Amino acid sequence: MGSCFRIHKEREEEERNFLENGGLLLEELITSFNGRSNPFRLFSKQELKRATKNYHQDGLLHQDGLHKWYKGTYEDRAISVKKLIVGYAPQKDIGWCINEVVVASHMNNHKNVLKLLGCCLETQAPTLVFEFAANGCLSYHIFEEELSPSYLSWESRLRIATEIADAVAYLHNGTSKLIVHRAINSYTILLDEHYVAKLFEFRLSISIPLGQTHVDGNLSSWYIGSIAPESNGTWRFTEKSDVYSYGVVLFEILTGKRVLNILKEIYGVVESSSWQVNRSFILADDNENDIRVYLRANIVKGNTEQLMACAELAIRCVKVNPEERPSMIEAAKELRRISRFQHDSL
């Protein structure tokens, strides 16, 4: 008798979650992108339990502060399932999940975006289902200290940098609204089985209202070193804020060093409590030549002309004045031009 009552209560909760999450999702889909959305599948709670073997620990891929990512199998296809950690479900987090579904569904047509397959609305907050990216985060493959057997060559790094630029350019220009990602870093870029780049993590993405030049929105956390100077503290974002964050990723790709280590080596600051506030930007108004010297000394091995041209592009992307940064379309075009260079290696 007790088990029947428990099952009944669980079903009631699932139905309530479905209605509440579904209502929020429908409302957001209607108000976003002129009511148009790409179709995606609604998964049941039981389907995802079976796909992940009841979220078995062996299938845990990644965990951040709010979510766990699990590998699963559905209809003979590998999938990744993004599930809110039990105990977390404030309205803000549910809103972020809904936002991610809406934005990701509109980005599904781009080959360098992690494809959203669908979601489950029966859980406390929507559980999201994506394609599986077999090689994990870009960060696993570009940093010297990782000593990964799949440490990427310069040729692969340049291709991936171009693919990321394409994805961000599409985010900015490919839909009816200009969307700012706000969380571009080497941990929000995945690599599939062929090392093709896949941008993901759209929960913090936000559109700039028509007729406006920026959007305001506080972020409680950030990958330190990736936030643009004009957004630091003001939480005011434009597409050029994304360009800055992309430029930081390009610095990491070029050097094989994390941005925190780059900042320490450039400015010689050790105490994290001091440099996070005062030295969290790569470029100052008067040190471009110093940055060029640093890049030349710390750049990965590869085609000399390509490397130095990419270094110049990276410097342009992290300019203090956002107006001096290129657009992401311009950056993507420049990277394609650079890829055609055929000179000697360092």
Q: Is the pLDDT of residue 346 over 80?
A: no
Q: How far is it, in rounded angstroms, from Cα 186 to Cα 199?
A: 10
Instruction: Evaluate the CA torsion angle 60, 62, 67, 70 in order and state its sign.
Output: negative
Domain end call among 131, 164, 195: 131
Domain end call among 79, 96, 131: 131
**Is residue 345 domain-resident?**
no
- Alpha-carbon separation of residue 278 from 254, 271, 282 (angstroms): 24, 11, 11
User: In terms of domains, do 95 and 69 share one?
Assistant: yes
**Is residue 346 domain-resident?**
no
Mean pLDDT of 317-329: 96
What pLDDT does 307 receive? 97
Q: 171: domain range?
A: 139-339
CATH value at residue 255: 1.10.510.10
| Nearest CA-CA partner of 183 in 134, 233, 138, 228 | 228
| Nearest CA-CA partner of 256 in 156, 162, 113 | 156
Domain end call among 101, 131, 161: 131
Q: Do the beta carbons of residue 316 and residue 246 sit within 8 Å?
A: no
- Alpha-carbon separation of residue 342 from 242, 296, 311, 312, 338 (angstroms): 30, 19, 17, 17, 9
Q: Is the pLDDT of residue 147 over 60?
A: no
User: In terms of domains, do 106 and 241 share one?
Assistant: no
Strand partners for 345: 303
Query: Which helix or strand (DSSP H or E) is residue 230 part of?
Result: none
Strand partners for 190: 137, 198
Average pLDDT over the chain reads 85
CATH value at residue 45: 3.30.200.20
pLDDT tens string 51-92: 999 999 999 998 877 889 999 999 999 999 999 887 666 677
Q: How far is it, in rounded angstroms, from Cα 216 to Cα 308?
A: 35
